[in-house]
Structure 1
Amino acid sequence: MKDLKFEIQNNEFVKLLLKSIGDGIFVLDPEGTIIAWNPAMEKIAGFSFNEIKGRSCKILNFNQCFDKDCPTGLKDCGILKYEKVDPTECLLTHKNGHVLSVTKNARVIKNKQNKIIGIVEAVTDLTALKNARLKMEEATRRLGELNRLGGIIAKSQVMQNVFTFIKASAASDTTILIQGESGTGKELVAGAIHSIGERRDKPFIIINCSALSESLLESELFGHVKGAFTGASQNRVGRFEQADGGTLFLDEIGEISPYIQVKLLRVLQQKEIERVGESRKRKIDIRIITATNKDLKFQVDSGHFREDLYYRLKVFPIYLPPLRDRKEDIPLLLNHFIKINNKSIIKKVKGIEKPALKAFMDYSWPGNIRELANAIEHAFVLCSGRQIDLDDLPIEIREPNTISRPLEKKRTFDNEKSIQTISPLTQKKLIELLHDCNWNKAEVARRTGLSRASIWKYMKKWAIPQKSPEN
């Protein structure tokens, strides 16, 4: 015992060695008394050698060396029994009382007679590593936020601006108008705003304003009482009341009639509704988010939309750029839709061949993200390998110059007027478009520049079936 202590304290090489090691090193005699303590250990634990020498390492209050707290004496420690402690993450109590995360390993020292004459322990401070790990986790979390918010996947700068607007708008109950072409993800934005706002635990109710006639939309929104009209056999709660405390998302707000516009304006002003067929006023506490693929300012200027309602709705406008203006997001979106299809289809596609990826990047995407999702689904049907190839893509993406769209439309959402090149819609042309679009009336509406409600009315006028006769 005395030989080890003497050797450590009087051997210049040993002292130089201890001083040069970056990790904390201390040595115990067989009784558990500290006989050596290097400068790195002083820095980690806060004790100088003069303060710590002759004392037990119990003062450091190590824990979890042998899956238990630091014992009162060396005999109960386990080091004499196991003769080593492999690198183990544990806690150490600093001189000032705060706790440090460290890794510790230990070995017994034996003489030539195989007798234990001491114990050497090494300690590594994990504080810097822990901080670096936390920063990395935070960076990873933030990266996830930057690339994905409420199901919206993007890394482009224009979409980062949208994310900023979403986060800002979520902090208040301001009425929001989301503007963008069909297929850009307006409903996802509305859902994201609700999901991170204070109303996230309350209902999120969605209604498409173009899918219903004026009378049906009024009843759907406001509800009705029994006997209010033919077929009203019982009281019905409307969407405004269903959304009480939460959020009501009105999609395609530009399609509502002047009568519904007046009623909606009254709701925004008075925060109360009346069911159809009764005069009782009912208070509601909701946030209203609206969306449109139309230029509402042009609608106002042309007399089709109330100016006072327009300004009530666009207190906080959010514009969603078309996919052609954020093409750096396409690889992210492709990966996302491949994962979705892999879950629902037996095939396990790993990625996209370069020619196919180039075709995706070169295409103008008039149908935006919805069209991209459909293109991947189409590719999964044809794909026979592990990679989507050019031949697996829809022909309009493979050969965009050979497909002439019947109608083209350019939209803007500021003070410019929408520019449309529209040929008169005939019964024959509508049937052709329905066939081309697989009876997708939203796609037909997009191609013609008309609303889905208008397409529905034309179909009814010309007795065109709502579903393909082939189905």
Structure 2
Amino acid sequence: MEFERHLREIVDTMSEGLLLVAADGGIVMVNESLARMAGFAAEELVGRSCRVLDCDVCERERGMGEGAWCRLFAEKSTQAKRCMIRRKDGSYLPVLKKQSLLRDASGAGLFAVETLTDLSELEGLDRKVEELSRLLCAEEGFHGMVGGSAALRRVFDLIERAAGSDAPVLLTGESGTGKELAARAIHDLGRRRGGPFVQLNCAALSESLLESELFGHAKGAFTGAHRHRQGRFEAADGGDLFLDEIGDAPPAIQVKLLRVLETKSFERVGESRSVRVDVRVVAATNRDLGRLVAEGRFREDLFFRVNVIPIRLPPLRERLEDLPALAEHFLRRLAGHAGRAVPAVTPEAMAMLVAHDWPGNVRELKSALEYAFVVTDAGPLEPRHLPPGLSRREVAAACPPRTPPGTVDGDERRQLVEALRRAGGNRSEAARLLGVSRGTILNRMRKYGVDSRHVLAF
């Protein structure tokens, strides 16, 4: 028939990879899509064993063939399955494989027909959905980082400068200061924003599991390694890898991290073949790496490699002028999820928040406001709604008696209230009217217990 003369052209138009395998496992034909996915030329594959693709699922299927080359020739059909194939350059490619068997007139198997769909883009989208889920509703401020204090503005400037480089970045700061948001901002602002952003907490896994997560492993590398596994470095190729709590990485892992940073290559667990990657590392820790180096618990050479661009995230107690904006941000998010009005924060409650030391930083503030939002009703958020851990004594310490009118402080408070009323509660506009900075407005609001929402209510 006419179409048989054009069969090769037809199969080469397929976006899926097509593989024709003989009963002895030899490759009879591949289409252009399959060759491109595997990184081979078509003539490099035809005539070779299908083992050249090193599919992790096929390894098991061949063990169930009951004398045949693989299970497909014994059972005549198999279910579609996700698996990993190895490309010519040694990298892994996730695919969805579908198989069927061509038989002769007597029913004997002639060829296995396999179609492979590239799932790498889908897995990349899965990672993107996961990242966006973590950052949901963090669209305010500077890439989710809320505040306008001088300390935070310096951080924003460093992030923008770091984003323009491919040099490693080290984010330091106490737990809860927003290191993950900073790492994400560096990625989103940098030249690699079109590539993946992959992250891993180095303190969450044992040494063996951490090595496998970082570098991947080949099937059979250890007990339970039934499939190939792509590591985080390989997944981040062309993008950024965020290594959180790098100060907790075991010494053996530190050695391997140093090698990747210096050579841009690594070996998977259970393999001796090097895999090259193009990854920029953004590391973070809440520990003093300099002290760990002095104590011999962190490699000095690795410290110098990751500490090329250091950025310190200030604790909340060093930028208390950002607290009102943070409180408003979190309460608005909570109200949006619950379908309720955003509760006002009374001056006494705000003073109580400002007086607290916040050892857990922004994460602790968020938890405190979630608690308060749950226990408050439709009215304003008052001191009694805040968690018991925030001592009432902090209110007395933070709320000095109201200054009577006629004094210098009284005139300053009156001018502040009038400016906020004229500005419709906009602190930046109020600052312009008074000829001062926005930070001064926030400081005076805390000093005199002034809440812009209450100002507008009168």
The TM-score normalised by the length of structure 2 is: 0.55
Q: Structure 1: which 5+ residue stretches go unaligned?
A: 1-146, 403-471
Distance 2:328 2:223 in 1: 51
Q: Which residue of 1 aligns with 2:361?
A: 368
Which secondary structure state, in structure 2, belongs to the residue aligned with residue 352 of structure 1? coil
Q: Deviations for 1:261-291, whole angstroms, at most 9, x for unmatched residues?
A: 0000000000011110001111100110000
Which secondary structure state, in structure 2, belongs to the residue aligned with residue 318 of structure 1? strand
Distance 2:232 2:201 in 1: 11
One-letter amino acid matched to 1:169:
A
- Post-superposition offset of 1:395: 1.2
Q: Indicate yes or no: 2:238 matched with 1:245.
A: yes
Distance 1:327 1:401 in 2: 15
Contact 1:348/1:386 (<8 A) preserved = no
Aligned counterpart for 2:272 among listed residues 276, 279, 282: 279
- Post-superposition offset of 1:349: 2.6
Q: Which residue of 2 aligns with 1:267?
A: 260
Aligned counterpart for 2:373 among listed residues 370, 380, 400: 380
Aligned counterpart for 1:324 among listed residues 282, 300, 317: 317
One-letter amino acid matched to 1:383:
T
Aligned counterpart for 1:207 among listed residues 175, 200, 207: 200
Which secondary structure state, in structure 1, belongs to the residue aligned with residue 165 of structure 2? coil
- Post-superposition offset of 1:385: 2.4
Structure 1 400/371 Cα, relative in aligned 2: closer, same or farther at 3 Å? farther
Distance 1:344 1:375 in 2: 17
Distance 2:159 2:379 in 1: 37
Contact 1:252/1:292 (<8 A) preserved = yes
Q: Deviations for 1:428-465, whole angstroms, at most 9, x for unmatched residues?
A: xxxxxxxxxxxxxxxxxxxxxxxxxxxxxxxxxxxxxx
Q: Indicate yes or no: 2:293 matched with 1:300.
A: yes
Instruction: Kindly report which structure 2 residues correspond to 1:152-171, keeping only aligned pairs within 5 A, or say none.
Output: 152-171=145-164
Distance 1:277 1:223 in 2: 9
- Post-superposition offset of 1:397: 1.7
Q: Which residue of 2 aligns with 1:350?
A: 343
Distance 1:386 1:200 in 2: 43
Contact 1:248/1:289 (<8 A) preserved = yes
- Post-superposition offset of 1:332: 0.7
Distance 1:365 1:308 in 2: 34
Rg larger for: 1
Q: Which residue of 1 aligns with 2:214?
A: 221
Q: Deviations for 1:21-58, whole angstroms, at most 9, x for unmatched residues?
A: xxxxxxxxxxxxxxxxxxxxxxxxxxxxxxxxxxxxxx
- Post-superposition offset of 1:150: 1.1
Q: Which residue of 1 aligns with 2:34?
A: none
One-letter amino acid matched to 2:307:
K
Contact 2:216/2:232 (<8 A) preserved = yes
Q: Which residue of 2 aligns with 1:258?
A: 251
Q: Deviations for 1:229-286, whole angstroms, at most 9, x for unmatched residues?
A: 0000011100000000000000000000000000000000000111100011111001
Q: Which residue of 1 aligns with 2:388?
A: 395
- Post-superposition offset of 1:320: 0.6
One-letter amino acid matched to 2:332:
K
Distance 2:362 2:186 in 1: 19
One-letter amino acid matched to 1:355:
E
Q: Indicate yes or no: 2:331 matched with 1:338.
A: yes
- Post-superposition offset of 1:200: 0.8
Distance 2:393 2:356 in 1: 7
Distance 2:152 2:329 in 1: 16
Contact 2:164/2:190 (<8 A) preserved = yes
Instruction: Kindly report which structure 2 residues correspond to 1:86-235, keeping only aligned pairs within 5 A, or say none.
Output: 148-235=141-228
Distance 2:262 2:205 in 1: 24
One-letter amino acid matched to 2:384:
D
The percent of aligned pairs where both chains have the same amino acid is 51
Q: Deviations for 1:136-180, whole angstroms, at most 9, x for unmatched residues?
A: xxxxxxxxxxx8211111100011100010000000101000000
- Post-superposition offset of 1:398: 3.8
Q: Deviations for 1:170-208, whole angstroms, at most 9, x for unmatched residues?
A: 001010000000000000000000001111111100111
Q: Which runs of 4+ in 1 moved over 6 A?
A: none
Q: Deviations for 1:45-82, whole angstroms, at most 9, x for unmatched residues?
A: xxxxxxxxxxxxxxxxxxxxxxxxxxxxxxxxxxxxxx
- Post-superposition offset of 1:400: 6.4
Distance 1:236 1:326 in 2: 43
Q: Which residue of 1 aligns with 2:129?
A: none
Q: Deviations for 1:357-376, whole angstroms, at most 9, x for unmatched residues?
A: 00011111000000000011
Distance 2:375 2:187 in 1: 38
One-letter amino acid matched to 2:259:
R
Give RMSD over aligned pairs: 1.4
Which secondary structure state, in structure 2, belongs to the residue aligned with residue 289 of structure 1? strand
Distance 1:156 1:270 in 2: 40
Q: Which residue of 1 aligns with 2:44?
A: none
- Post-superposition offset of 1:391: 0.7
Contact 1:322/1:368 (<8 A) preserved = yes
Which secondary structure state, in structure 2, belongs to the residue aligned with residue 188 of structure 1? helix
Which secondary structure state, in structure 2, belongs to the residue aligned with residue 153 of structure 1? coil
Contact 2:177/2:314 (<8 A) preserved = yes
Paired positions, count: 256
Contact 1:227/1:277 (<8 A) preserved = yes
Distance 1:172 1:303 in 2: 30
Contact 2:355/2:394 (<8 A) preserved = no
- Post-superposition offset of 1:386: 3.2
Structure 1 401/351 Cα, relative in aligned 2: closer, same or farther at 3 Å? closer
- Post-superposition offset of 1:401: 7.0
Contact 1:272/1:283 (<8 A) preserved = yes
Which secondary structure state, in structure 1, belongs to the residue aligned with residue 390 of structure 2? helix
Contact 1:205/1:243 (<8 A) preserved = yes
One-letter amino acid matched to 2:316:
L
One-letter amino acid matched to 2:213:
E
Which secondary structure state, in structure 1, belongs to the residue aligned with residue 243 of structure 2? strand
Distance 2:380 2:391 in 1: 16
Contact 2:169/2:282 (<8 A) preserved = yes
The TM-score normalised by the length of structure 1 is: 0.53
